[in-house]
Structure 1
Amino acid sequence: QNSTKFKRSEHTRIKDAVQALALCHNVTPVYETNSGSLESETEADQHLQSSGNIVTYQAASPDEVALVQWTQAVGLMLSRRDLNSMQLKAPNGRTLNYAILQIFPFTSETKRMGIIVKDLQTGEILFYLKGADVVMTAIVQYTDWLEEEVGNMARDGLRTLVVAKKVLTEEQYQDFENRYNAARMSTTDRVTRVAQVVESLEREMELLCVTGVEDKLQDNVRATLELLRNAGVKIWMLTGDKLETATCIAKSSRLVSRTQGLHVMKKVVTRTEAHLELNNYRRKQDCALVISGESLEVCLSCYQPEFMELATAAPAVVCCRCSPTQKAQVVQLIQKHTGKRTAAVGDGGNDVSMIQQADAGIGIEGREGKQASLAGDFSIPQFSHLARLLLVHGRKSYKRSASLAQFVIHRGLIISTMQAVFSSVFYLSSVALYQGFLMVGYATVYTMFPVFSLVLDQDVSPEIALRYPELYKELAKGRSLSFKTFFMWVLISIYQGGVIMYGALLLFEDEFIHIVAISFTSLILTELIMVALNIRTWHYLMVLAELFSLGLYGLSLVVLHDYFDAEFIRTKDFFWKVLVITLVSCLPLYILKILRKKFSPPSYSKLS
């Protein structure tokens, strides 16, 4: 008899657990016909058996969808849902109808969600609650096995939820509803009062079950993390999962390599405990750090500089049980302490604050919706695409921006130098060297297309950039765009501007219109040659830009009679003078470039 009673009790508990999972969620069923068109809930309900409609579930959380799909697999199917009611289908074909009385949505602060439903068959009012074990432990009764089972699941890398139930009488619910509505109508401290009323109901609940959902790693996560590490990127993992789950994921994703140790910081509450734990970690070498959100808060409040110094020097850091606010605070602290650029990558709504805080926010279009991808500066469909985004597109953007900026500086300084030389030769007169269309043309049609075509340049192919992530590490040295490169281009501009102007003024001509023709033609040719000398991979649009600018200037020499002497331009004298000046301004720089490439070649040239 006792055995039968125990079995019946166990059967009842399993039934209650499955029923709780089928009811406590924010999932909506959507029906699709074999032809691919969507049907209304009523039509789908009528033809579900006969026409073979396919049911899919929609929810903000993929975990909730997974649990509802599991209840369907064991025989209790969510067949219909609207704002006020839910319908389940039992294995025997029986329909179970429930009225939704209240819903308490999940928030990162409460870490739980609840629902009050009324069984329309029996009239019973049921309050279901599910949430993280850290908050549910204090709510449920008889928790002797809870901590052990949650720990076992977490060590297997599963995301856990604790599910509980409470049966309410009509009087209890009416009393709660009155207090709940009064709190919601309150004009002061509304949020706090509502929370207090709900918490008054969350007491002495019956523990039903613990669920574990596997959050599978996307393809090529390990390879991507390895590439980023080799590229010199420090990686921190900020998650709301349990410590055991976070540790398991860090190991399986190879965030922590096999050769590295793993130091799990114990839970600290006081300043002394934080001091001892930080000293313990300081003695470790090449060891990744794992810390919970609560301990992190204590360490930051008591020993912020010391903690950040240790954490930023660690090969990897895992922060578990982090709230969205904490994630953003950690990013802000890294920015403040290191002065480095940060990139935050996330796929859920709880990652939005972190993504917005970072210098570069990267959202992944995940099953948890598009909140993260919409909030980010960049959106990618998979985590593995992060490697190409940074190592290929990020590197190209930096290199191209640096090259474009240098040529914009060069283009402006060289003509300024020429004007300064011209004015100094003529006793600092305020006469403009080039006027009207020549100045407008120089700033636009004559030089703009070749200079801006540099955005198509690349020093190495995307395949090589991904194969050798160390190339990305060199960007941190700032050799492409720094004070050194700036002053180098200033000197180049002064040298070329001086050569062109002094060559045109002192060595060759006395007539002003001839000086303008020789110097301006040499200037345009020098600019086009300098662009060509700095291109590392030619693109057909670059060739077109060079030819178009050269052809347009050649046409201007013939058409613009007010600026150029047509008779002089057709002489050999004009041709060889322009040739000599252009060679003197460009040839030494070309020789220096060849010598530098031979004796001190850049890394990319060794791989090309």
Structure 2
Amino acid sequence: MIFFLPWSLSRSCCECLVHTCRRKKELKVRTVWLGHPEKCEEKYPKNAIKNQKYNIVTFVPGVLYQQFKFFLNLYFLVVACSQFVPSLKIGYLYTYWAPLGFVLAVTMVREAVDEVRRCRRDKEMNSQLYSKLTVRGKVQVKSSDIQITMKSKQTGLMYDLCPQEDCDPPIHESLSIENTLWASTVVASGTVIGVVIYTGKEMRSVLNTSQSKNKVGLLDLELNRLTKALFLAQVVLSVVMVTLQGFLGPWFRNLFRFVVLFSYIIPISLRVNLDMGKSAYGWMIMKDENIPGTVVRTSTIPEELGRLVYLLTDKTGTLTQNEMVFKRLHLGTVSYGMDTMDEIQSHIIQSYAQPPAPKVRKSVSSRIHEAVKAIALCHNVTPVYESCVNGASTEPESTEADQDFSDDNRTYQASSPDDVALVRWTESVGLTLVNRDLTSLQLKTPAGHILTYYILQIFPFTSESKRMGIIVREEATGDITFYMKGADVAMASIVQYNDWLEEECGNMAREGLRTLVVAKKSLTEEQYQDFESRYNQAKLSIHDRALKVAAVVESLEREMELLCLTGVEDQLQADVRPTLELLRNAGIKIWMLTGDKLETATCIAKSSHLVSRNQDIHVFKPVSNRGEAHLELNAFRRKHDCALVISGDSLEVCLRYYEHEFVELACQCPAVVCCRCSPTQKAQIVRLLQQHTDNRTCAIGDGGNDVSMIQAADCGIGIEGKAVFSSIFYFASVPLYQGFLMVGYATIYTMFPVFSLVLDQDVKPEMALLYPELYKDLTKGRSLSFKTFLIWVLISVYQGGILMYGALVLFDQEFVHVVAISFTALILTELLMVALTVRTWHWLMVVAELISLGCYLASLAFLNEYFDLSFITTWVFLWKVCVITLVSCLPLYIIKYLKRKFSPPSYSKLSS
């Protein structure tokens, strides 16, 4: 109890203190006074990034807490502290504190290096101009290609409604959430003026991010358990020794003295080699030529990559490139694919070459014209020209003829890659978006004429409405048209009755296409004026403004004319198919978590080979209550070896009523696809796998909606830019025994050979990629199981007995000679045992063995109190050491040879 009670009590107190310090501040209404700083007494956080774990004051206490919350490190500390008690002291203090100090020094240096890297990244980001922004500050952004906010802790800006400082003031209406410029927003064109309302840690993106946890590797947890087992064995041995004495005298004190004497059963060098080995693994990952640019943010868990069972991945930008390509246009009676786009282009040229003639029944040409025009107008895309990007912006008063609308220097910017793909497609068929500002859009026809459309209203896309709309007035005719596009689930109830939309949406989704429904509604001047009046009145409301505005907009979204259905393909990442097959063959279960619709997610799972070709797929039917969930789970239970596809809504119902049953069934599936999944649900799924299984999880993503999932997983991988799957990480598990002599054996004589085992490979990297099934052996954890642990304990007992009693009983009676023979044989045995575990020799391993042997031989000249130099230089000493070493190691080499001969491991079969 002396070891466990302070440990558990201190850990509970520290965790309670941490929880109290991390308690979120209560949110309240914020009032920003412009031009009256004296009216605002509240202090606001600086607009600075801070990703550091510690500061100057908390670094040492924080690192010590993270180290001593594990039994292994706490054990060494208690043993060292026991030497301050005179009745328990059995040696010099430095023999206990020097190894512990070395271990802590290595750990602190490693943590300091990681902390300095984080500090440099923060300093680099905080040196940007935006770090000077403060709440109540007024900001003007001119450039067309400036990213206002960067990374995760950035500034929110409130837009004025006029694009220039000298423009006429707009109608006096109350500002709403739509007037807020959030983080990671790009100003595509024009000039905006805003007021800073939130900075630093009060940013929405920061508040939506959960507190990152200190991740602990499975190897550390397993070693912690094995350390407790060794400590228990140590206590049992101490009790046996006291029992043999007959509990005479101060037996309780003797019991603790025996515990201290047996403390070397748990080698302190183990901690040193592990920490340095992890740092070496992290360095090798960053230097891998096959994955250039990889950065290891945390050097304490690189070995986790060799123990993964569940890989949870995002779809867009991770499995796919997030580069959309227009693939299909469906008008209800006719469908156009990539091979028939020339027909659409000819229809567009024809429709603009001759004046439109009113017809009772619309022709195919007119329907194509209306559909393409709607797609070219209903979006949030802004064309940006090279002259503007380089800083030479066009003057507001420049005429239309003076502007350079050439195709060579035009690029499109938008918040949605789908919109960019649609606008690029309209350009390819002849109708080009050439200019856009807050009040108008300009389209160029195939004949080169410029058509101007005035923007009357815009209804942005939201995750709740799943659609966007725009009301425009054509300059030439004065016609007012309301265009809208969105997901089929949102548009089905808005458009006029049709018998083809649902079926074609399903067909496109099964092809892996992202679908959008496009519709329009013509408005008279009176209808629009009535709508505008009601809309402005709703926006001026103080109470329930959002509900009133939504009600007014919904009154316009009725009986809209269905124009077309578009299909856009999100292209797969390079080499994603062979990579996923490789991971699946390695025994890693892959779960795809995406916000896309069910059909699209299912098709991507098939095309990316997340689900193998001959594998069945069970689509979990939509459920809304406990009874439906029970029936569907029973139906799913009868399936065997099939992939699961489930929506976020159904998942929420199942987890509410049948959490354990659902997770148990899902974990038996070779692959799982969760569609319409929110960022919160992604993190929840990771935590469920951790709670209900003992396996390690890895999350990989590229966007802000993946941050919570990555933080929750045991191993998180973030992709920057257009990075792709390119490699599988694998690590071979490595099996890891008084004065200055004690310190030297633990930290000098045997450290280099054991540390050099980080270079060991059971098979070559090419062989591991060719036979990914070898990875399954690592995930089973057999290299560090209790069985393996007991085998090494028995080996240690055998070798310890041979070394000690061989020198004491068989050869010599003088104590100084016994020490020389036994300790020299011990060093040689240790070096030979390291060689016994090596599978693939590296030249640095040989150097490490020679350095260790050289250090020991050199130290003999300075350790006169332990060794008789005249005896060491005799042939008697040499042959006795060789005989003892041979007896202690030869049987193990014979057993290893026989095992490889008659029961070889899988990797050795492939190597041969």
Question: Please, what TM-score do these two structures have when normalized by structure 2?
Answer: 0.53
Query: What one-letter code is carried by the residue in structure 2 that aligns with 1:56?
Result: T
Number of the residue aligned with 1:421: none
Seen in structure 2, the aligned counterparts of structure 1 residues 105 and 49 have a Cα distance that, compared at 3 Å, is closer
Seen in structure 2, the aligned counterparts of structure 1 residues 515 and 148 have a Cα distance that, compared at 3 Å, is same
Deviation at 1:465, TM superposition (A): 1.3
Number of the residue aligned with 1:373: none
Cα distance per residue 1:455-508 (max 9 Å; x no partner): 111101122212222211223332111111122222222333333333444444
Deviation at 1:313, TM superposition (A): 2.9
Number of the residue aligned with 2:799: 496
Query: What one-letter code is carried by the residue in structure 2 that aligns with 1:263?
Result: H
Cα distance per residue 1:484-539 (max 9 Å; x no partner): 11222222223333333334444444555544443333332222221111111111
Q: Distance in 1 between matches of 2:412 and 2:689?
A: 39
List runs of 5+ in structure 1 lacking aligned partners: 368-380, 408-413, 415-432
**What root-mean-square deviation, in Å, do the aligned CA atoms of Structure 1 and Structure 2 show?**
3.9
Deviation at 1:125, TM superposition (A): 7.3
Contact 1:47 1:53 in 2 (8 A): no
Number of the residue aligned with 2:591: 236
Contact 1:291 1:318 in 2 (8 A): yes
Number of the residue aligned with 1:173: 532
Seen in structure 2, the aligned counterparts of structure 1 residues 520 and 194 have a Cα distance that, compared at 3 Å, is farther
The 5 Å alignment of 1:574-593 reads 574-593=877-896
Number of the residue aligned with 1:371: none
The 5 Å alignment of 1:158-169 reads 158-165=513-520, 169=528
Cα distance per residue 1:73-94 (max 9 Å; x no partner): 1233334556777554443444
Number of the residue aligned with 1:136: 491
Task: Specify the SS of the correspondent of 1:210.
Answer: strand
Number of the residue aligned with 1:605: 908
Seen in structure 2, the aligned counterparts of structure 1 residues 507 and 41 have a Cα distance that, compared at 3 Å, is farther
Moved more, 77-86 or 63-72: 77-86
The 5 Å alignment of 1:319-398 reads 319-365=674-720, 381-383=723-725, 385=726, 388-389=727-728, 393=729, 395-396=730-731
Task: Specify the SS of the correspondent of 2:688.
Answer: helix
Deviation at 1:10, TM superposition (A): 6.6
Deviation at 1:173, TM superposition (A): 3.4
Contact 2:513 2:568 in 1 (8 A): yes
Are 1:527 and 2:826 matched, yes or no?
no
Q: Distance in 1 between matches of 2:493 and 2:630?
A: 29
Contact 1:162 1:210 in 2 (8 A): yes
Higher relative contact order at CA 8 Å, sep ≥6: structure 1 or structure 2? 2
Seen in structure 2, the aligned counterparts of structure 1 residues 264 and 542 have a Cα distance that, compared at 3 Å, is same
Are 1:301 and 2:656 matched, yes or no?
yes
Contact 2:535 2:549 in 1 (8 A): no
Contact 1:343 1:362 in 2 (8 A): yes
Number of the residue aligned with 1:440: 743
Contact 1:30 1:41 in 2 (8 A): no
Cα distance per residue 1:48-71 (max 9 Å; x no partner): 467x74433344543232112112
Moved more, 250-259 or 541-550: 250-259
Number of the residue aligned with 1:571: 874
Task: Specify the SS of the correspondent of 1:159.
Answer: strand
Q: Distance in 1 between matches of 2:390 and 2:677?
A: 39
Deviation at 1:339, TM superposition (A): 3.7
Query: What one-letter code is carried by the residue in structure 2 that aligns with 1:604?
Result: Y
Cα distance per residue 1:518-574 (max 9 Å; x no partner): 333333222222111111111122222222222232222235556544433322233
Contact 2:494 2:558 in 1 (8 A): yes
Moved more, 115-124 or 565-574: 115-124
Cα distance per residue 1:148-196 (max 9 Å; x no partner): 332232232211012344657356335434533656xx7xx88878767
Task: Specify the SS of the correspondent of 1:240.
Answer: coil
Query: What one-letter code is carried by the residue in structure 2 that aligns with 1:42?
Result: T
Task: Specify the SS of the correspondent of 1:445.
Answer: helix
Q: Distance in 2 between matches of 1:190 and 1:501?
A: 86
Deviation at 1:606, TM superposition (A): 0.7
Number of the residue aligned with 1:552: 855
Q: Distance in 1 between matches of 2:801 and 2:596?
A: 65
Number of the residue aligned with 1:248: 603
Contact 1:108 1:323 in 2 (8 A): no
Q: Distance in 2 between matches of 1:586 and 1:193?
A: 84
Q: Distance in 2 between matches of 1:568 and 1:131?
A: 91
| Greater percentage in helix | 1
Q: Distance in 2 between matches of 1:137 and 1:12?
A: 23
| Equivalent position to 1:451, from 751, 754, 757 | 754
Seen in structure 2, the aligned counterparts of structure 1 residues 600 and 8 have a Cα distance that, compared at 3 Å, is closer
Contact 2:378 2:485 in 1 (8 A): yes
Q: Distance in 1 between matches of 2:718 and 2:637?
A: 34
Q: Distance in 1 between matches of 2:698 and 2:589?
A: 10
Seen in structure 2, the aligned counterparts of structure 1 residues 508 and 354 have a Cα distance that, compared at 3 Å, is same
Task: Specify the SS of the correspondent of 1:72.
Answer: helix
Number of the residue aligned with 2:899: 596
Seen in structure 2, the aligned counterparts of structure 1 residues 72 and 181 have a Cα distance that, compared at 3 Å, is farther
Task: Specify the SS of the correspondent of 1:216.
Answer: strand
Q: Distance in 2 between matches of 1:106 and 1:516?
A: 81
Q: Distance in 2 between matches of 1:163 and 1:156?
A: 19
Contact 2:760 2:840 in 1 (8 A): yes
Q: Distance in 2 between matches of 1:200 and 1:300?
A: 37
Seen in structure 2, the aligned counterparts of structure 1 residues 555 and 587 have a Cα distance that, compared at 3 Å, is same
Q: Distance in 1 between matches of 2:853 and 2:546?
A: 70
Task: Specify the SS of the correspondent of 1:382.
Answer: coil
Task: Specify the SS of the correspondent of 1:536.
Answer: coil
Query: What one-letter code is carried by the residue in structure 1 that aligns with 2:885?
Result: T
Seen in structure 2, the aligned counterparts of structure 1 residues 257 and 478 have a Cα distance that, compared at 3 Å, is same
Aligned length: 547
Query: What one-letter code is carried by the residue in structure 2 that aligns with 1:260?
Result: Q
Are 1:317 and 2:317 matched, yes or no?
no
Deviation at 1:604, TM superposition (A): 0.9
Seen in structure 2, the aligned counterparts of structure 1 residues 507 and 91 have a Cα distance that, compared at 3 Å, is same
Are 1:477 and 2:780 matched, yes or no?
yes
List runs of 5+ in structure 2 lacking aligned partners: 1-355
Seen in structure 2, the aligned counterparts of structure 1 residues 353 and 84 have a Cα distance that, compared at 3 Å, is farther
Query: What one-letter code is carried by the residue in structure 1 that aligns with 2:486?
Result: G
Q: Distance in 1 between matches of 2:745 and 2:440?
A: 72
Question: Identity of aligned pairs, percent?
Answer: 68
Query: What one-letter code is carried by the residue in structure 1 that aligns with 2:886?
Result: L
Question: Please, what TM-score do these two structures have when normalized by structure 1?
Answer: 0.77
Seen in structure 2, the aligned counterparts of structure 1 residues 318 and 351 have a Cα distance that, compared at 3 Å, is same
Q: Distance in 1 between matches of 2:548 and 2:887?
A: 82
Q: Distance in 1 between matches of 2:546 and 2:762?
A: 57
Query: What one-letter code is carried by the residue in structure 2 that aligns with 1:238?
Result: L
Task: Specify the SS of the correspondent of 1:214.
Answer: strand
Seen in structure 2, the aligned counterparts of structure 1 residues 344 and 65 have a Cα distance that, compared at 3 Å, is same
Cα distance per residue 1:276-327 (max 9 Å; x no partner): 4334444444444333333333344344444444333334433333333334
Q: Distance in 2 between matches of 1:498 and 1:71?
A: 84
Seen in structure 2, the aligned counterparts of structure 1 residues 49 and 19 have a Cα distance that, compared at 3 Å, is closer
Number of the residue aligned with 2:212: none
The 5 Å alignment of 1:460-471 reads 460-471=763-774
Seen in structure 2, the aligned counterparts of structure 1 residues 289 and 580 have a Cα distance that, compared at 3 Å, is same
Q: Distance in 2 between matches of 1:22 and 1:64?
A: 9
Seen in structure 2, the aligned counterparts of structure 1 residues 203 and 440 have a Cα distance that, compared at 3 Å, is farther
Q: Distance in 1 between matches of 2:667 and 2:713?
A: 16
Task: Specify the SS of the correspondent of 2:603.
Answer: helix
Cα distance per residue 1:383-427 (max 9 Å; x no partner): 4x3xx32xxx2x31xx2xx31xx32xxxxxx2xxxxxxxxxxxxx
Are 1:539 and 2:893 matched, yes or no?
no
Cα distance per residue 1:123-149 (max 9 Å; x no partner): 877665432211222344445443233
Are 1:225 and 2:225 matched, yes or no?
no
